Amino acid sequence: MYIECHDCLSLFTLVNLLEMSVAALYRPWNMYERLFLYGLVGFAAEVCFTATWEAVEHGNRKLIGVTSMYIFFVYGLSILLMEKLYLNLKDIIPLPLRAAIYVFVCYCWEFSTGLFLKRWDACPWDYESYFHYHFMGLITFEYIPVWYLSSLVCERFLIRYALQSAWLATEEKRQA
pLDDT digits (tens, 9 = 90+) for 62-103: 999 999 999 999 999 999 999 999 999 999 999 999 999 999
pLDDT (0 to 100) of residue 169? 81
Percent of the chain whose pLDDT exceeds 70: 83
Rounded to an integer, what distance in angstroms lies between the CA atom of residue 134 and that of residue 127? 6
Q: Note whether 83 and 162 are within 8 A (CB).
A: yes
| pLDDT for res 175 | 55
End-to-end Cα, the chain, rounded Å = 42
pTM of the predicted protein model: 0.82
- Residue 163: the pLDDT is 98
Q: What share of the chain is helix, strand, coil (3-state, %, to 5)?
A: 70, 5, 25
Which amino acid makes up residue 133?
Y
Inform me whether the pLDDT recorded for 7 exceeds 90. Answer: no
Average pLDDT over residues 121-141: 95
Hey, how many other C-beta atoms are within 10 angstroms of the C-beta on 152? 16
Mean pLDDT of 163-173: 80
In tens, the pLDDT along 12-65 reads 565 554 555 555 688 999 999 999 999 999 999 999 999 999 999 999 999 999
Residue 1: the pLDDT is: 53
pLDDT at 10 over 80: no
Q: Is the pLDDT of residue 170 over 90?
A: no
Residue 2: pLDDT band (50, 70, 90) is low
Classify 169 as helix, strand or coil. coil
pLDDT reported for residue 144: 97
Q: Which pLDDT does position 130 carry in this prediction?
A: 86
Cross-strand partners of 166:
28
